[in-house]
């Protein structure tokens, strides 16, 4: 993860706190977007697969990758 991606993720989490009604895309949708070399940010902007939108939000791919990494680090009994 690059410093720019980390900044975008921090900003995206602030956006999640300030906005309701968002939902992560299902894995199939994410794959369809990736097949076209793009992804959406949580505010619906089209971005590169691991890109950042013009509002500074990270793509869903980055957000979900980060969540998966956090899950992988969590001990099974936590
Ligand atoms: Zn945007």
Q: How many CA atoms lie within 13 A of 15 on its CB side?
A: 21
How many whole angstroms from 42 Cα to the centroid of ligand 1?
8
Tally of domains in the chain:
1
Angle between helices 60-73 and 27-35 (to 10 degrees): 130
Cross-strand partners of 47:
39
CA distance 53 to 10: 13
Ligand 1 center from residue 78 Cα (angstroms): 34
CA 44–ligand 1 middle distance (angstroms): 7
Query: What local confidence, expressed as pLDDT, does residue 74 receive?
Result: 85
Quick check: 48 and 42 in contact, CB under 8 A?
Answer: no
- Name beta bridge partners: 67: none
Q: How far is the CA of 43 from the centre of ligand 1 (A)?
A: 5
56 CA from centroid of ligand 1 (Å): 7
In a domain? residue 78: no
DSSP H helices, 19-48, are 27-35
User: What is the average pLDDT score of the chain?
Assistant: 95
What pLDDT does residue 76 have?
Answer: 77
Structural domain includes residue 42: yes
In a domain, 34, yes or no: yes
Distance 76 CA to ligand 1 centre (A): 35
Residue 72 has pLDDT above 70, yes or no: yes
């Amino acid at each position: 993860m690059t410093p720019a991606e980390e900044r975008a993720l921090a900003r995206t989490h602030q956006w999640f706190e300030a906005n309701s009604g968002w939902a992560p895309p299902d894995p199939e949708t994410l794959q369809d977007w990736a097949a076209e070399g793009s992804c959406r940010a949580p505010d619906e902007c089209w971005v590169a697969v691991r890109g950042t939108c013009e509002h500074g939000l990270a793509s869903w791919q980055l957000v979900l990758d980060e969540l998966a990494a956090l899950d992988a680090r969590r001990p099974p009994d936590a």
